Amino acid sequence: MFNQLKNLAGDEYYLISSLLVFMLFFLIVGVYLLKLNKQHIQMMSELPIQDQKTIANEED
């Protein structure tokens, strides 16, 4: 495995660019999640429960 890493011959640009894209993607997702409105997260987490209550009330 280490011999393959020693003999890249120009392919290291693909490895470095893919690593940067990977890190950039997760950095953007992390910043998005930290800045997300907490009320929106709470509302979205309660949606399945609210749907169950609505269905139960319609059956009565």
pLDDT tens for 1-53 read 566 666 667 777 888 888 899 999 999 999 999 999 989 888 888 887 765 66
Identify the domain containing residue 40 by its residue range.
2-59
57 pLDDT band (50/70/90 cuts)?
low
Quote the pLDDT of residue 32: 93
**Which pLDDT score, from 0 to 100, does residue 17 have?**
87
Alpha helices in 1-60, H assignment, sequence order: 2-6, 12-35, 38-59
The whole-angstrom separation of Cα 42 and Cα 38 is 6
pLDDT of residue 43: 85
Q: For 9, left (φ over 0), alpha (ψ -120 to 50), or beta?
A: left
By the 8 A CB rule, do 15 and 8 touch?
yes
Give the chain's domain count: 1
Q: Please tell me the pTM assigned to this model.
A: 0.53
